[in-house]
Chains A and B, each alone.
Chain A
């Protein structure tokens, strides 16, 4: 299946994976709040938290290369935002705040990454519902998650078909144009599908209200 990147490590079977989802959500949020609330002058505590987060990743069998890749993707954005602070003073100050921002962003990101890579989405969803998320939003989330796979499959098929029809180098304009068409076609198909899904729901007696078995 083309879409196994959606939950790459979350279906593992380590000790961390078996913890209840609610406990993991609360723990992760506690770490995140601690990182954000503690002044950066207490950097030894941040260091300890960093060690804790890395240890948790290690226990959960999440490879270091994956962490580095994700951090490498996040870092430019965070640096750019943080650099705005010293830049706004002509590089004459604001470095403390900027470095605090980067450190906090990285630590909280790694903590969240541990949570989402040890808990599959359906378990998170159940935990959200237990933690009081409105039912209609939970149902919509489940629906969206279900159709992510269908839409990604459709996208992959369309890309293959498009590649099969194009040869050689193309001008940037042509690439741009075909990409716009790809997404637009995907939009049209998805809207058509939502129409059919709606018909299928009506066919099984749906009257606009979601009921669940538990």
Chain B
């Protein structure tokens, strides 16, 4: 997940650095102004924990490889979005300064993608799901959905940064987005499983640790609902509608054109079926095909996994929490 130096142009590094510094400064201010001075050691400890947790290997099912925790959403749920963002930034800086993981110039972009979007954005999604699903089950559902969304959103953001770094640089942006997001939707499934597993264990053992922090507080609650519902909707739309809507390399233009003219003449469904009947291996592998296929795979697979996981965690939580349900919903 760490962006190495060399992928982003210095201009983009500076721009993302400025945005990340602003967000980080705001988060730090929020931390310092919290009522309880407890958040300061909590944030540092959480950063140390996530650093260590990222080194624990999780065996992946069916393939002989390992996955690991990223932790943005986990940190945000345990300590709140601002502390989560700061904790992830601390982890990223330590990894950069101890192991050279993640580029020095790309630090801003990494903070933006994983700390700001991963933690604050992830928390917004989490808060939105918590509104919809009450009780401890909502906490676990929320963590699963937010973890997946945060990973995919971070990868999409990386693609945008990458595209801005290489204007007119010999690749098609929608396809790169499609490839990156479909690849990261798999990583996201791992992250969602790990985060959901950890959160459901903690909720079962020490619900008090999560409850205090998971109460959507102040500004984030309101913004969280909007951003959360918005981003979930946007992702679902991106996953399901994007392959049907983007025609050709220039997606936006195509959408506009289609919306204006094409849809009047013939519905897009037909058009897509026409295209899909073409590809034979090696012959018709146009980039549109790759693009549609991977975006669809990302969307359908990701959404299916999320549904499956929420169902599974629902059962797990139901089993481990006989009586402590209810009374926590917003």
Binding site for B on A (CB under 8 A): 6-7, 28-29, 32-33, 35-37, 70, 74, 77-78, 80-81, 84-90, 93-94, 96-97, 101, 103-109, 112-113, 115-116, 121, 124, 134, 136-137, 140-141, 143-145, 147-148, 150-152, 155, 172-173, 175-177, 179-188, 190-191, 193-195, 197-198, 201-202, 206-208
Would you give the 0/1 interface string for B149-192, flagging 1 where the beta carbon is closer than 8 Å to chain A?
Answer: 00000000000000000100111100110011001000000000
Given A84-B179, A181-B201, 5 additional A-B pairs, CB 8 A: A33-B10, A88-B176, A109-B4, A183-B56, A194-B38
**Residues of B with C-beta under 8 A to A78:** 4
Chain A nearest CB from B148 CB (Å) reads 17
CB<8 Å pairs between A and B, sample of 17 = A88-B175, A88-B291, A89-B171, A96-B170, A97-B166, A112-B96, A112-B104, A116-B96, A172-B61, A179-B59, A181-B201, A183-B194, A188-B206, A193-B45, A194-B42, A195-B38, A206-B37
> Looking at the complex, which one of A37, A85, A109, A187 makes contact with B10 (CB distance below 8 Å)?
A37
**Residues of A with C-beta under 8 A to B256:** none
Q: Interface centre among B10, B48, B179, B183, by most A CB within 10 Å?
A: B48
Residue on B nearest A188 in the bound complex, by CB: B206
Judge whether B46 and A190 touch: CB under 8 Å. yes
Q: Total interface residues on B, using CB and 8 Å?
A: 71
Give the distance in Å from the alpha carbon of A29 to the alpha carbon of B171 in the complex. Answer: 28
Residue on A nearest B194 in the bound complex, by CB: A180
> Looking at the complex, which one of A140, A175, A179, A183 makes contact with B44 (CB distance below 8 Å)?
A140
B227 sits at the interface (CB 8 A): no
The 7 closest A-B pairs by CB, nearest first: A104-B6, A108-B5, A143-B44, A88-B175, A194-B45, A180-B197, A184-B201
Judge whether B4 and A74 touch: CB under 8 Å. yes
Chain B nearest CB from A46 CB (Å) reads 11
Which of B86-94, B127-135, B270-278, B298-306 forms part of the interface with chain A?
B86-94
Q: Interface centre among B44, B51, B205, B286, by most A CB within 10 Å?
A: B44
Judge whether B10 and A36 touch: CB under 8 Å. yes
B53 sits at the interface (CB 8 A): yes
